[in-house]
Amino acid sequence: MFISEVSPVAFDAPWVKSFDERMMMLRRGSPRAAYFYETPDTSTFRYRIYNVCQSLAADPAGASASWFHLGDLEHMDRVFAQCDVFILCRTRYDDRIARMVGRARARGLPVLFDCDDLIFDVAHAHTLMDTLGENLSLTQSWDTWFGHIARQGQTMRLCDSAIVTNSFLAARAEAFMGKPARIIPNYINQEQAEISRAVWDAKEANNWAGDGRIHIGYFSGSPSHNRDFALVSGALGRLMDEDDRITLRVVGFLDSVGPDLQRHGSRIESIPLQDFINLQREIGQVEINIVPLQDNIFTNCKSNLKWFEAAVTGSLTIAAPSYTFREVIRHGENGWLAPVQRWGAIMQEVIAMPIEAQRLVASQAREDAERLYGWRHQSDIIKQALFT
């Protein structure tokens, strides 16, 4: 594991603001985008709304954005009077949402739907549930997921167009709603960038010194990745049999590491789910970040955030060759792509690389990630998607 002098930081959710504060954000510039999300949180809301508002706030050209939620429903006419476009992000349909969209349309506002997953088309509900490891024998699971997905889809169909994270998902959105989809990628926000730079600088100052162990990190933000991890657990177990320097660090949710790794329990570290700032510190402490994924239409719609969030800290990524990872990873130059049957060989190859060769890959990955996914480089993309 890398020796780091970057300490954990206190975290306060930066999106806890009063309605008046958020209205001031909206009125700051022109044109203006008002986002709606059911309840602000650290996952989709952060990537799709908070980061966008942050990038536009730093844009000297003057556009602005703010967010509103279910607690603001009685005030939405005030919002509509001040904005130029209204965006619903992963919002489930009900009578309140239908009336709110009607009021926005009555004012002539374009209404858009933003999402970062294939969560709007019940034709793919079975694949989604199977991928997430849902109990397919439970009627309640089917009712829950079909209801959730259908309600998202109904809200989406009320809208004029969609905004998504990548072109693979955009094609699915356009086929579903028969209207155009535009792209705003997921990307790194200012807070992530700042702590990631501190982690990188600490590595440079320590000449990339380690503690003698090799940490392979698996970072799981939800309890739905057991089947993904199972794809690599056998290969990882065999590597740990052969090399006692290897330690597995699991950060976040994982129900079980599986039978292939149980014999290595003393070399498996479990870290609780982290806030998005301290997560960067945890990612930066491992030498290798692994991103196994099942190969299906649902996983190919996902963004490549697990690559760029590791890249900016200097940690190397081995990822499944899904659509978005293939778009950005140049195998051996800024990361590695691992088909299911190649995980063991590729992990072994990366571990065996001299530290200077690893540093070259880490430097290239960091340069690519900051250029493509840095928060200061997104405002033109955002304005094109929202206002044209």
359-384 pLDDT tens trace: 999 999 999 999 999 999 999 999 99
Position 88 scores a pLDDT of 98
Q: What would the two tokens of residue 31 be?
A: 């044109």
Please check whether the domain covering 19-185+376-387 is classified as CATH 1.10.3470. Answer: no
Comparison of pLDDT for 42 and 118, the residue scoring more: 118
Name the residue ranges covered by the structural domains of the chain.
Answer: 19-185+376-387, 190-373
Q: If you average pLDDT over residues 250-267, what whole number do you get?
A: 86
CA 129, CA 387: separation in Å to the nearest integer? Answer: 35
pLDDT tens digit sequence for 271-284 = 999 999 999 999 99
Q: If you average pLDDT over residues 146-154, what whole number do you get?
A: 98
Residue with tokens 């998504």, as numbered in its chain: 164
CA 327, CA 252: separation in Å to the nearest integer? Answer: 26
pLDDT tens digit sequence for 188-232 = 999 999 999 999 999 999 999 889 999 999 998 666 678 899 999
CA 345, CA 232: separation in Å to the nearest integer? Answer: 11
| CATH architecture, domain defined by 190-373 | 3-Layer(aba) Sandwich (3.40)
Q: Is 17 exposed, middle or buried (0-12, 13-18, 19+ CB in 10 A)?
A: middle
